[in-house]
Amino acid sequence: MTPIVLVGGGGHAKVCIEILQNMNTYQIIGIIDEYKPIGSSVYPPYKVTHNTLTITNFPKETLFLVTIGRTKENHPRKTIYEQLKAQGARFATIIAKNAVVAKTVKISQGTVIMNRAIVHPHSVIGENCVINTAAIVEHDCFIGDHTYVAPAAVINGGVRIGKNCLIGSNAVVLQERTIADDVIVGAGAVVTSDLLEPGVYVGCPAKKIRAL
């Protein structure tokens, strides 16, 4: 099996570990967490093994996966990914066994498609993205690097989402809309028009409430 190291030891890591266990393709050989003591339990029997983002601690064939979730705009997912990439790290691309992903979908490294998520034909998913539990990405969508699509969000056909965005739980983006980089769409919001400026958008229809 391919050795893999997880970066982040919180709740999102627990879900990723279960997905990896069900895939039976990867062997988890380490968990890096800068904020937890070495030996801290993450998901038995897995524990934090390292506190520093140094890839030379691991065999050359090791793949990495950022397993930190995103609930606020000041998240470290992008920063950690770029720090590892600058060291020459290679990243796994993970698709849960019960996810549905069309054959024509293109998924970049570091991305996780989680349980019961659906990604329809000719969509493109960038690096270090999360398509979370039961989220739907319809046909011909583009999702930029480091974007997090939260549980049960629905991205309709032909939508373009920029880099470093968050689409909240149960949010809906109507077809052929464009969302700029660095946009947060709140939980349950409905995007009915293009969101062309960074910021936080909530409500139905989604309106900007503050800048980032």
Summarize the confidence of residues 37-62 as an average pLDDT: 96
154 in helix, strand or coil? strand
> Which pLDDT value is given to residue 70?
81
Summarize the confidence of residues 103-130 as an average pLDDT: 98
Summarize the confidence of residues 160-165 as an average pLDDT: 97
> Which pLDDT value is given to residue 75?
75
> Which pLDDT value is given to residue 76?
86
What domains sit in the chain, N to C, each tagged with a CATH number?
2-92 (3.40.50.20), 95-203 (2.160.10.10)
The percent of the chain in helix, strand and coil, each rounded to the nearest 5, is: 10, 35, 55
pLDDT for residue 71 is more than 70: no
> Which pLDDT value is given to residue 73?
58
The percentage of the chain sitting over the pLDDT mark of 90, rounded to a whole number, equals 96
Average pLDDT for the chain: 96
In the 8-state DSSP scheme, what is residue 45? T
Quick: pLDDT tens for 81-95: 999 999 999 999 999
Strand partners for 107: 125
Quick: pLDDT tens for 138-153: 999 999 999 999 999 9
The percentage of the chain sitting over the pLDDT mark of 70, rounded to a whole number, equals 98
Q: Which residues, 6 or more positions from 70, have their beta carbon under 8 angstroms from its beta carbon?
A: 77, 130, 148, 150, 166
pLDDT for residue 170 is more than 60: yes
The model's confidence at residue 212, banded by pLDDT at 50, 70 and 90, is confident
